């Protein structure tokens, strides 16, 4: 994929997805205007043992021809435990770009903080930093581990350079118009070591120099690269790299399990990566990254081909040797729109089934686009409860998109469902990641965009206390809703969405007359409003005989 095109897509999505303080424990927000010379985007939040929060981010430079931006560069932000900014640092490198989008953050047993980053050659003269080294552009990509002080300054660097094949662009339009790169898309802490995976991509899909390679690596905190094992993939030229972000790998007692979308699968028995009948693959590796076996993934009810693949995958290990995976797909959608899924896989390596069994499944969807949190959408608490985060009803037309956090028990029975957003200020919301804190709170990283002016947005980190996810009053006290109505405004259908049990919905007209009452038996209640007159209506959700949520709905 051409890098220019890839970045254009990324920022077009940023316009779509673009935050407001509602009453949560705290919020750290960076507003932006799309014509600004620089823009910061926040992606992941890491809590350190001393309570500080490190935000993994990227810094973007505007090239002066709105809305195009230059390549992203690695950046970090340090916050106090109560959300106050302590330091901010970007890690710009001449003639390189931060191809992994944002750093991974690790803390060793001594409380020292490290950032894992990659830098890849920038060979496109359209990029401003290309001219800094025009006569002698870099040919190697860098995988680096960097020790940081409290101000996020690099005090020690451990870098490894790898040659990246580059070639003339198609029809020689630009010199090396799509450089090869290193893209880190998994990194975890395992028994005191940093273990991860990255893709080494050649320049173009048509590049004759070969196919991309998937590497698994292990590093210690002294910066030693102890293992670096590569497997050639079936595709080349970054074609499917955008489907992989950050959290695709879990640790087991015998080694690691790596979850992959089908197109970036290493070759293995049964022609993995060539059979479009399947949507994804699980690779089982020992501690030395030897490939033990592979198995296939498929969405229930879908054939796995075309748009049925797994996108924006993030995984986390349960405490009973299964894996939770959050993903999105158009399995049950149309017109390219996607729905959100949370699966529990019985991925025992001794299981002889070719397709990994799904023991639990949740699907969430609206009438518009729905996206799981892009970088990390699933977490497991100390009490074994499961948190699932996604963005619902994201689109251009309405101001009623929501970020949803659902909390389940081990059997996927709902404990609490809460909604972050507002139906009054025409903001579009999208979740980037969710993480849990040592005090059982939740850190939500998100973006918002004003639908009345796509130039204006914000990137934010929000801290919610643990009690926000245990009851209705507690959710309201932290600026969260327990039921929502959409689309708003709407026409012939009013959707009421809630995780509440033993509940019903009431709808009143402008004169206060009850015109509809319906029991809530599922997560989504659809009401036929075709015969209702245009105007404003009031909806109420009543649970256990008490008012749980209310709002206005406009029929056009």
Q: Over the stretch 308-355, which tens digit does the pLDDT of each residue have?
A: 678 888 999 999 999 999 998 876 666 667 889 999 999 999 999 999
Q: Which residue has the higher pLDDT, 209 or 251?
A: 251
Sheet holding 493-498, edge to edge: 483-486, 493-498, 524-528
**Element (DSSP H or E) covering residue 472:** helix 472-477
pLDDT at 122: 74
Q: Which of 369, 422, 421, 424 is nearest to 392 (CA)?
A: 369
| CA 18 distance to own-chain centroid | 13
- % residues pLDDT > 70 (the chain): 78
Q: Which residue has the higher pLDDT, 298 or 80?
A: 80
Average pLDDT over residues 547-552: 95
Instruction: pLDDT band for 304, please (50, 70, 90 cuts).
Output: very low
| Residue the block writes with tokens 């409380």 | 111
In whole angstroms, give the CA distance from residue 430 to residue 396: 13
Per this entry, what is the length of the chain? 556
CATH 3.40.50.1220 fits 486-556, yes or no: no
pLDDT at 174: 37
pLDDT at 336: 67
Average pLDDT over residues 219-237: 84
Q: Over the stretch 483-517, which tens digit does the pLDDT of each residue have?
A: 999 888 888 999 999 999 899 999 999 999 999 99
**Which of the residue ranges 48-52, 236-240, 428-432 has the most confident prediction, judged by mean pLDDT?**
48-52
Residue 454, pLDDT above cutoff 50:
yes
Q: Over the stretch 38-47, which tens digit does the pLDDT of each residue have?
A: 889 999 999 9
Q: Which residue has the higher pLDDT, 141 or 52?
A: 52
Q: Which residue has the higher pLDDT, 70 or 400?
A: 400
Instruction: pLDDT band for 137, please (50, 70, 90 cuts).
Output: low
Residue 305, pLDDT above cutoff 80:
no
Asked whether 520 and 533 are in contact (CB, 8 A), the reply is no
Asked whether 490 and 516 are in contact (CB, 8 A), the reply is no
pLDDT at 61: 78
pLDDT at 260: 82
Residue 136, pLDDT above cutoff 60:
yes
Q: Which residue has the higher pLDDT, 23 or 21?
A: 23
Residue 2, pLDDT above cutoff 50:
no
Q: Over the stretch 408-418, which tens digit does the pLDDT of each residue have?
A: 999 999 999 99
Residue 543, pLDDT above cutoff 90:
yes
Query: 23 CB contacts (<8 Å, ≥6 apart)?
Result: 477, 478, 479
Please state the CATH superfamily assignment of the domain spanning residues 3-481 in this structure. Answer: YVTN repeat-like/Quinoprotein amine dehydrogenase (2.130.10.10)
Average pLDDT, the chain: 82
In whole angstroms, give the CA distance from residue 333 to residue 497: 18
Residue 434 φ then ψ, to 5°? -135, 140
DSSP 247-284: B-EEE-SSEEEEEEEGGGPPP-GGGTTT-TT-SEEEEE
Instruction: pLDDT band for 547, please (50, 70, 90 cuts).
Output: very high
Q: Over the stretch 357-399, which tens digit does the pLDDT of each residue have?
A: 999 999 998 878 889 999 999 999 999 999 999 998 876 555 6
Instruction: pLDDT band for 12, please (50, 70, 90 cuts).
Output: very low
How many other C-beta atoms lie within 10 A of the C-beta of residue 424?
11
Q: Which residue has the higher pLDDT, 427 or 114?
A: 114
Q: Over the stretch 145-182, which tens digit does the pLDDT of each residue have?
A: 999 999 999 999 999 998 876 543 333 333 444 567 78
Residue 55, pLDDT above cutoff 90:
yes
Asked whether 68 and 127 are in contact (CB, 8 A), the reply is no
Lowest mean pLDDT across 77-91, 112-126, 430-444, 484-498:
112-126
Task: Provide the strand spans (E) within 80-123.
Answer: 85-90, 96-97, 104-107, 113-121
Cα separation of the two ends of the chain = 42
pLDDT at 4: 30
Q: Where are the domains of the chain?
A: 3-481, 486-556
| Residue the block writes with tokens 């080694």 | 255
Q: Which residue has the higher pLDDT, 72 or 168?
A: 72
Instruction: pLDDT band for 356, please (50, 70, 90 cuts).
Output: very high
pLDDT at 18: 35
Query: 344 CB contacts (<8 Å, ≥6 apart)?
Result: 318, 322, 323, 324, 325, 358, 359, 360, 361, 412
- % residues pLDDT > 90 (the chain): 55
């Amino acid at each position: 994929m051409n890098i220019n095109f890839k970045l254009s897509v990324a920022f077009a999505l940023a316009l779509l997805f673009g935050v407001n303080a509602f009453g949560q424990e705290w919020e750290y927000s960076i507003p932006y205007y799309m014509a600004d010379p620089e823009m910061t985007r926040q992606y992941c939040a890491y809590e350190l043992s001393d309570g500080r929060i490190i935000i993994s981010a990227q810094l973007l430079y505007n090239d002066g021809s709105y809305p195009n931006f230059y390549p992203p560069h690695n950046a970090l932000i340090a916050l106090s435990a109560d959300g106050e900014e302590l330091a901010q640092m970007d890690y710009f490198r001449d003639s390189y770009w931060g191809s992994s989008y944002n750093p991974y953050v690790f803390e060793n047993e001594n409380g020292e903080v490290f950032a894992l980053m990659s830098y890849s050659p920038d060979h496109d003269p359209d990029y401003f930093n290309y001219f800094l080294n025009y006569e002698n552009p870099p040919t190697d990509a860098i995988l680096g581990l960097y020790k940081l002080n409290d101000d996020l300054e690099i005090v020690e660097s451990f870098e490894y350079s790898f040659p990246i094949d580059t070639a003339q662009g198609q029809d020689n339009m630009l010199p090396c118009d799509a450089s090869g790169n290193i893209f880190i898309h998994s990194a975890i802490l395992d028994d005191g070591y940093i273990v991860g995976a990255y893709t080494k991509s050649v320049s173009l899909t048509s590049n004759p120099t070969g196919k991309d390679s998937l590497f698994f690596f292990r590093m210690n905190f002294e910066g030693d690269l102890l293992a670096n094992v590569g497997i050639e993939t079936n595709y080349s030229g970054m074609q499917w790299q955008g489907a992989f972000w950050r959290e695709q790998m879990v640790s087991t007692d015998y080694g690691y399990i790596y979850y992959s979308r089908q197109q970036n699968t290493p070759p293995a028995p049964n022609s993995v990566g060539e059979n479009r009948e399947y949507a994804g693959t699980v690779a089982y590796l020992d501690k030395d990254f030897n490939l033990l076996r592979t198995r296939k993934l498929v969405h229930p009810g879908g054939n796995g081909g075309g748009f049925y693949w797994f996108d924006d995958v993030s995984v986390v290990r349960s405490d009973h040797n299964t894996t939770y995976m959050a993903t999105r797909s158009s399995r049950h959608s149309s017109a390219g729109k996607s729905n959100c899924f949370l699966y529990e896989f019985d991925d025992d390596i001794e299981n002889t089934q070719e397709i990994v069994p799904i023991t639990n499944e949740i699907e969430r969807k609206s009438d518009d686009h729905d996206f799981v949190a892009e970088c990390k959408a699933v977490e497991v608490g100390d009490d074994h409860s499961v948190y699932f985060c996604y963005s619902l009803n994201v689109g251009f037309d309405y101001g009623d998109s929501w970020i949803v956090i659902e909390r389940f028990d081990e059997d996927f029975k709902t404990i609490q469902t809460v909604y972050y957003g507002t139906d009054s200020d025409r903001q579009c919301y999208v979740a980037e990641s969710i993480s849990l804190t040592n005090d059982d709170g939740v850190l939500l990283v998100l973006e918002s965009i004003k639908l009345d002016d796509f130039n204006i947005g914000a990137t934010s980190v929000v801290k919610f206390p643990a009690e926000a996810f245990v009851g209705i009053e507690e959710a309201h006290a932290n600026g969260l809703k327990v039921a929502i109505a959409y689309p708003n405004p709407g026409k012939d259908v009013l959707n009421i969405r809630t995780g509440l049990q033993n509940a019903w919905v009431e709808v009143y007209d402008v004169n206060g007359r009850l015109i509809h009452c319906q029991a809530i038996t599922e997560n989504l209640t659809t009401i036929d409003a075709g015969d209702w007159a245009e105007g404003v209506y009031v909806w109420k959700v009543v649970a256990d005989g008490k008012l749980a949520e209310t709002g206005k709905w406009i029929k056009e």
